[in-house]
Amino acid sequence: MPSKKSTDPYLHVSNIYAHLMDFISYKWWAKYLYSITKNKLIKNPRVLELAAGNGSLANHLTKIYKNYIVTDISLNMLKHNDGNGRKICCDMIAIPFKTKFDLILSSFDSINYLMSKQKVLQHFKQVKNILSDDGIFTFDTALESNSYKHQKTALNKGRTKGFKFVRKSIFNPKTKIHKNVFTITYPNGKEYLETHTQKIYSFDTFFELAEKSGLYVVNCYKAFSFTKGKATSDRVQFIMKRKA
Ligand SMILES: C[S@@+](CC[C@H](N)C(=O)[O-])C[C@H]1O[C@@H](n2cnc3c(N)ncnc32)[C@H](O)[C@@H]1O
């Protein structure tokens, strides 16, 4: 099986990502994020989306927010974005901006790609440095019960645009590491293996690291809802601000 070393974590999955996510309405998601943040934001905010992937959320949010920068560590994911916004390839723990943003966001477990608490702390510190005084930082994160649920649908397969794929989902409750192993067959018959490794943190970790980084939690919702998030939720949506 050929496997060219690449630093792009979504080199191959970028080809099938839109298909993997077609169960979700990004239009609805964008409205949800707008509704939980709008009362906390200034007019015409400067927006930075981190780990934006193929920009599906940005394609909707840029209809509301005109000053919007889309970023991701994967150049191939960014290439699959057909929006007109500014796109920059960067790591969310090495954010290359000096200007301040009024809204900084990431979605769909992107923060779980940071494999240590130290990296999450570094990420929070960097976000804090470029968050305007009254700015809002919001992201969602998968918690442990989400990983157990995925074990039930541990194997799935599909095809899209001539690509075939098989996905295996494996969660290790001891290390709290969740792996998604993709085997992707290109239209020309070549097969590639791509493993996505994510760390599942405890609910309390985010409060602890926010505190250490100079941020604080304004709200934490059960994701996609307006009810309070809990340690037992599948996924939670944090809203943080800078401490004074
Ligand atoms: C599950 S996808 C989510 C993409 C998009 N936010 C969405 O909701 O569809 C995770 C994304 O995180 C990106 N990513 C992983 N590690 C990253 C890092 N250290 N810095 C920036 N982006 C990262 C991946 O390239 C991928 O596009």
Per-residue pLDDT tens over the stretch 135-189? 999 999 999 988 887 766 667 999 999 999 999 999 999 999 999 999 999 999 9
CA–CA separation, 237 and 38 (whole Å): 15
- Name the residue at shortest CA distance from atom 13 of ligand 1: 51
Q: In which residue ranges of the chain is CATH 3.40.50.150 found?
A: 13-142+202-242
Q: In which residue ranges of the chain is CATH 2.20.25.110 found?
A: 145-199
Q: Which residues contact 108 (CB under 8 A, 6 or more apart)?
A: 21, 53, 140
145-199, what's its fold?
N-terminal domain of TfIIb (2.20.25)
CA dihedral 17, 84, 6, 150 (to 10 degrees): -20
**From 48, 68, 72, mutation site for ligand 1 pocket: most ligand atoms within 8 A of C-beta:** 72
Q: How far is the CA of 230 from the centre of ligand 1 (A)?
A: 24
Mean of pLDDT values over 57-81: 96
| Three-state DSSP class for residue 109 | coil
**From 50, 113, 119, mutation site for ligand 1 pocket: most ligand atoms within 8 A of C-beta:** 113
Q: How far is the CA of 91 from the centre of ligand 1 (A)?
A: 9
- Average per-residue pLDDT for the chain: 94
CA dihedral 47, 119, 6, 176 (to 10 degrees): -110
Say whether pLDDT at 1 is over 60: no
Identify the band that residue 2 occupies on the pLDDT scale cut at 50, 70 and 90.
Answer: very low
Ligand 1 atom with minimal separation from the 10 CA: 25
Which tokens sit at 26?
């990004």
**pLDDT tens string 3-49:** 456 689 999 999 999 999 999 999 999 999 999 999 999 999 999 99
Mean of pLDDT values over 122-146: 97
- Name the residue at shortest CA distance from atom 27 of ligand 1: 53
Which tokens sit at 222?
């059960």
> What per-residue confidence (pLDDT) applies to 168?
93
Say whether pLDDT at 223 is over 50: yes
> What CATH superfamily classification does 13-142+202-242 receive?
Vaccinia Virus protein VP39 (3.40.50.150)
Enumerate residues lining ligand 1, CB below 6 A.
9-10, 21, 50-53, 56-57, 72-74, 77, 91-93, 107-110, 113
- Name the residue at shortest CA distance from atom 16 of ligand 1: 113
- Report which of residues 84 and 225 the model is more confident about: 225
Q: What is the pTM of this model?
A: 0.95
Cβ of 110: how many Cβ atoms within 10 Å? 22
